[in-house]
Homo-oligomer: A and B are copies of this chain.
Amino acid sequence: MIQKLLDMGHQKDRAKLGGQALEMIAGRFRVLSEASRLKLIIALEEGEKNVSALVAATGLTQANVSRQLQTLTEAGILNRRKDGLNVIYHIADASIFEMCDHVCGSLQRRLEDQAGVFAGRSKTPSGK
């Protein structure tokens, strides 16, 4: 099974992605599909932080932060390190930020097209 999953990366043809691989990809997207988790990721971009600092930075409750950090860590997006009473989290997979930028760009293009419609200069008719 591990091998089957590893094959995924070497797969030239996305059409041959198996159900398991698709589920893994979908799962990764799902981890990023919650604003609270994105908040945590972004707060960690400027440097590693312990839980208390993340609570302060995001305005989320301690229990919630702890929970979402677990999700992000299990997904391999964050790493944790203990330092006395503190647990310090940091970004383990910086490619996350490229993904966010990708989405931002995509959303921006979309919004600009929509704005264009209202301005009467539609370039990309939305086949309604």
A34 to chain B, nearest CB (A): 6
Residues of B within 8 A of A2 (CB): 111, 115
Interface size class of A (residues with CB under 8 A): 35 or more
Q: How many protomers of this protein does the assembly include?
A: 2
Residues of B within 8 A of A28 (CB): 103, 106-107
Residue of B with least CB distance to A26: B35
Bound Cα distance A33, B100 (Å)? 15
Residues of B within 8 A of A99 (CB): 99, 102-103
Bound Cα distance A21, B104 (Å)? 9
Quick check: B35 and A33 within 8 Å, CB to CB?
no
Residues of B within 8 A of A43 (CB): 15
With contacts A29-B103, A95-B102, A103-B99 taken as known, whether A111 is within 8 angstroms of B81 at the C-beta atoms is no
A9 to chain B, nearest CB (A): 3
A84 within 8 A of B: no
Bound Cα distance A23, B37 (Å)? 11
Residues of B within 8 A of A23 (CB): 35
Bound Cα distance A43, B13 (Å)? 11
Residue of B with least CB distance to A45: B14
Q: 3 smallest A-B Cβ distances: which pairs? A: A9-B108, A30-B33, A29-B33
Residues of B within 8 A of A53 (CB): none
